[in-house]
Structure 1
Amino acid sequence: MNPITNPYAPGAGAPPPALAGRDDLRERVHVAIERARRGRHAKSVILVGLRGVGKTVLLDRMRLDCEARGNQTIRVEAPEGRSLPAILAPRLRSVLLGLSRVAAARDLADRALRALVGFARSLKVTFNDIEVGLDREPEPGLADNGDLEADLGVLLEQAGLAARQAGVAIALFIDELQYLEESQLAALISALHHCSQRQLPIVMVGAGLPQLRGRAGNAKSYAERLFDYPDVGPLTREEDLRQALIEPALEEGVEYTDGAFRAVLSHTGGYPYFLQEWGASAWKVATASPITEQDVEAATEQAIAELDQSFFMVRFDRLTPAEKSYLRAMAELGAGPHRSGEIAAKAGRTSASLAPIRNNLIQKGMIWSPSHGDTAFTVPLFDAFLKRVMPEFEPG
């Protein structure tokens, strides 16, 4: 079939042809932002889920939804090794410059920009990666104490006052939120809490791995009441699965047999990223419509090879030999979750001796703890990949 019209989009953050099964979450976020815009109580939202469920794509679609209603947005990713002030300040400056062009909000937006100058200058010593264009003089005493938690609260308050005067909300869309260092996460939570108490139109929509619930609670005990934590999981309803896999092909005049559809589901578990990968590979293998079960099985080797090279290997390459060995012991036990003691026994070690390795893997976002003493992969199908890339299991 024509490779130019292949409708599937397997890629990190690449928008799929159909965003299936996420309408309820989009509506929840829309309601929260619009309530905040009107000065009503609204919880911020943190989307949690494993790799490959489409959190980034969903976050970007929600941002477009928000902007389409006239609101201001800040879209950042919290990568390892960069500070919250560094990723937030330049985007906030752009939003405030936009608000300064609204006549009713000009004075408040200008004051917020002066607060941003004081914020950046006072924290430059602590966070030397802050780089933001500063064309105003700071206002002494405004967000310039050099304490991130206190100053961020004042800064977002000033931005919220300007947004309220302009009749809009400011929504912070932050991906990979689990990589924020705990004190910076605590400062962000505190600042959002302060804005919520003042009924200012500032809302955060975050996304990250499942351990975010626990990390937010550890950072600030009231985070449980400040945020909603909807799970973003694999697609389970048949209508959503058909929308994701079959409808894009139908728009190009290509059908699937029911056997082909079921075969894709058995290989992918309904994870959106994997659906795109198998769909793209099946399209390449098939010679005519309909795509058959035989086409899907023939495409499976290609789909797995693509996943190994891109989705899995980029994560595997970040690991130390000791971390790879730990994960390989997990894989020997199956998909999981597994008790820490079982992993240690399989590895031929004690749980205490493996604890630092386990903690490092959690920090790198490779594993998480669904419940006390349990350990699970954050990357679906990673156990099978580890057996392919490390076929010989050697304990110890």
Structure 2
Amino acid sequence: MDPIRNPFAPGAGTPPLELAGRDELRESLRVALQRSRIGRPAKSAMLVGLRGAGKTVLLDRVRMDAEAAGIHTVRVEAPEGRSLPALLAPQLRQALLRLSQTEAAKAMAIRGLRALAGFARKLKVTYGDIEVGIDYEPEPGLADNGDLEHDLQALVEQVGVAARAAGTALAIFVDELQYVPEPQLAALITALHRTEQRQLPIVLVGAGLPQLRGQMGNAKSYAERLFDFPEIGPLPPEAARQAIVKPLQHEGAGITADPLEEILRVARGYAYFLQVWGSHTWLAARESPLTLDDVRRASAAAVAAMDEGFFRVRFDRCTPRERTYLRAMAELGPGPHRSGDIAACMREKVSSLAPTRSSLIAKGMIWSPNFGDTAFTVPMFDEFMKRIMPAAPAADAGAPSETGRT
């Protein structure tokens, strides 16, 4: 099969040829954005799910849908080590400059740019990474208290007023939202709450790991009433089939039932894994239709590619002790696992492992589905850990064990 015509796209947020199984959610977000645009109540949304489920791809497709409908959008990714004000300020400036091109919104947009100038100057002391162009002098008393929660609320309100004057809405898209520190997350939630109270056309569409729901609830108790939290999980079987079949059909190729079911079995419905296996099966095949032998030949290459990329890039960020903790989890299976069981596997106390567990949660490697439970944020990571660290964690017979529930 011609590798140039390979219709599958395994990559970090790379849009697939066929975005299967997401139409219902796309439609619900389209409705929310249009309701916001006309001043009707509309919930913002947080897309939550494991790595490889397709959150980033979906986030970007919803953004494309919004822009095609005439809604203004901004998009940021929240990496570790960057402040939310630093990420948002340049994007909000661009949004206000675009809104200022509409005559009916020009005055409100300029006032928003003045608010942004005061916001950036006052918060530069606290968040030294803020870098944003200043187009107008600040307006005294507007978003310039130096308090993030108060100032971000005032700034976002002013952006909402400008968007309403322009007859549009602003959709703010934030990926990897779980990396935003809790005080900054609280400020963002407060700002969105205020715009909802004033029926201003601002909607936040975020994406993050499953712990994001709990993080937002901790930041502000009313977050679960302010946002919807659609779970982005494995595709249902029929949608997973379409994710393989339709790209093949686009290239005039096909696949028979048995190899198709084998791809679904090994990829387990996860959007990224479907793309990986589809791509490697295409490369392994000599002709159409793709066969079961093609899938079997492709599987070794698919696993190796994920080990070197998707899995390894996360493994390399971990300290030796964190890797041992992850290997102990893998020894117990896919999970989730009780903290006491992991500690028993390592022959250590639960309390002594708490800092390691917390660090892995902060890095987005694991999460806690329930109190005292620990699970991988990356599907199939237990299998990878056994491949890269074949030996089980070394047991120190002299170390105390604490297997109680925690």
Q: Which residue in 2 is equivalent to 1:25?
A: 25
Q: Which residue in 2 is equivalent to 1:205?
A: 205
Does the aligned pair in 1 maintain the 2:256–2:289 contact within 8 Å? yes
**Shift in Å, 1:220:** 0.4
Q: What do the CA deviations read for 1:183-237 (whole angstroms, capped 9, x no partner)? A: 0000000000011110000110000000001000000001011000000001113
Paired with 2:211 and 2:240, the residues of 1 have a C-alpha distance of: 27
- Structure 1 residues 64-103: aligned runs within 5 Å: 64-103=64-103
Q: Which residue in 1 is equivalent to 2:399?
A: none
**Shift in Å, 1:81:** 0.2
Q: Which residue in 1 is equivalent to 2:355?
A: 356
**Shift in Å, 1:309:** 0.9
Q: Which residue in 2 is equivalent to 1:139?
A: 139
Paired with 2:354 and 2:327, the residues of 1 have a C-alpha distance of: 16
**Shift in Å, 1:348:** 1.2
**Shift in Å, 1:119:** 0.3
Q: Which residue in 2 is equivalent to 1:256?
A: 255
Paired with 2:71 and 2:252, the residues of 1 have a C-alpha distance of: 38
**Shift in Å, 1:273:** 0.3
Does the aligned pair in 1 maintain the 2:235–2:271 contact within 8 Å? yes
Does the aligned pair in 2 maintain the 1:346–1:395 contact within 8 Å? no
**Shift in Å, 1:257:** 1.4
Q: What do the CA deviations read for 1:84-116 (whole angstroms, capped 9, x no partner)? A: 111101011011001111000010000000000
- Structure 1 residues 316-327: aligned runs within 5 Å: 316-327=315-326
Structure 1 vs Structure 2: percent identity of aligned residues? Answer: 64
Q: Which moved more, 1:34-43 or 1:45-54?
A: 34-43
Does the aligned pair in 2 maintain the 1:329–1:395 contact within 8 Å? no
Q: Secondary structure at the match of 1:98?
A: helix
> What is the TM-score of this pair, normalised by structure 2?
0.96
Q: Which residue in 1 is equivalent to 2:14?
A: 14
Does the aligned pair in 1 maintain the 2:241–2:264 contact within 8 Å? no
Q: Which runs of 5+ in 1 are unaligned?
A: none
Does the aligned pair in 2 maintain the 1:347–1:395 contact within 8 Å? yes
Does the aligned pair in 1 maintain the 2:8–2:16 contact within 8 Å? yes
Q: Which residue in 1 is equivalent to 2:398?
A: none
Q: Which residue in 2 is equivalent to 1:339?
A: 338
Runs of 4+ in 1 over 2 A off after TM superposition: none
RMSD after superposition = 0.7
Paired with 2:286 and 2:237, the residues of 1 have a C-alpha distance of: 29
Q: How many residues align?
A: 395
Q: Which residue in 2 is equivalent to 1:119?
A: 119
* Residue identity matched to 2:170: I
Q: Secondary structure at the match of 2:191?
A: helix
Q: Which moved more, 1:257-266 or 1:179-188?
A: 257-266
* Residue identity matched to 2:152: L
Does the aligned pair in 1 maintain the 2:237–2:264 contact within 8 Å? no
Q: Which residue in 2 is equivalent to 1:373?
A: 372
Paired with 1:83 and 1:130, the residues of 2 have a C-alpha distance of: 8
Q: Secondary structure at the match of 2:47?
A: strand
- Structure 1 residues 177-256: aligned runs within 5 Å: 177-238=177-238, 240-256=239-255
Q: What do the CA deviations read for 1:104-136 (whole angstroms, capped 9, x no partner)? A: 001000000000000000000000101111121
Does the aligned pair in 1 maintain the 2:9–2:15 contact within 8 Å? yes
Paired with 1:194 and 1:315, the residues of 2 have a C-alpha distance of: 37
Paired with 2:346 and 2:296, the residues of 1 have a C-alpha distance of: 34
Paired with 1:249 and 1:135, the residues of 2 have a C-alpha distance of: 50
- Structure 1 residues 288-303: aligned runs within 5 Å: 288-303=287-302
Does the aligned pair in 1 maintain the 2:152–2:188 contact within 8 Å? yes
Q: Which moved more, 1:223-232 or 1:386-395?
A: 386-395
Paired with 2:215 and 2:394, the residues of 1 have a C-alpha distance of: 31
Paired with 2:127 and 2:34, the residues of 1 have a C-alpha distance of: 33
Does the aligned pair in 1 maintain the 2:78–2:84 contact within 8 Å? yes
**Shift in Å, 1:351:** 1.1
Paired with 2:372 and 2:241, the residues of 1 have a C-alpha distance of: 37
Q: Secondary structure at the match of 1:104?
A: helix
Paired with 2:318 and 2:94, the residues of 1 have a C-alpha distance of: 37
Q: Which residue in 1 is equivalent to 2:109?
A: 109
Q: Secondary structure at the match of 1:174?
A: strand
Q: What do the CA deviations read for 1:295-348 (whole angstroms, capped 9, x no partner)? A: 101110000011011100100000000100000000001111111111111111
Paired with 1:75 and 1:275, the residues of 2 have a C-alpha distance of: 26
Paired with 1:231 and 1:280, the residues of 2 have a C-alpha distance of: 26
Q: Secondary structure at the match of 1:319?
A: coil
For the pair 1:163 / 2:187, whether they are aligned, the reply is no
Paired with 2:180 and 2:341, the residues of 1 have a C-alpha distance of: 30
Paired with 1:270 and 1:53, the residues of 2 have a C-alpha distance of: 8
Does the aligned pair in 2 maintain the 1:71–1:170 contact within 8 Å? yes
Paired with 1:299 and 1:237, the residues of 2 have a C-alpha distance of: 21
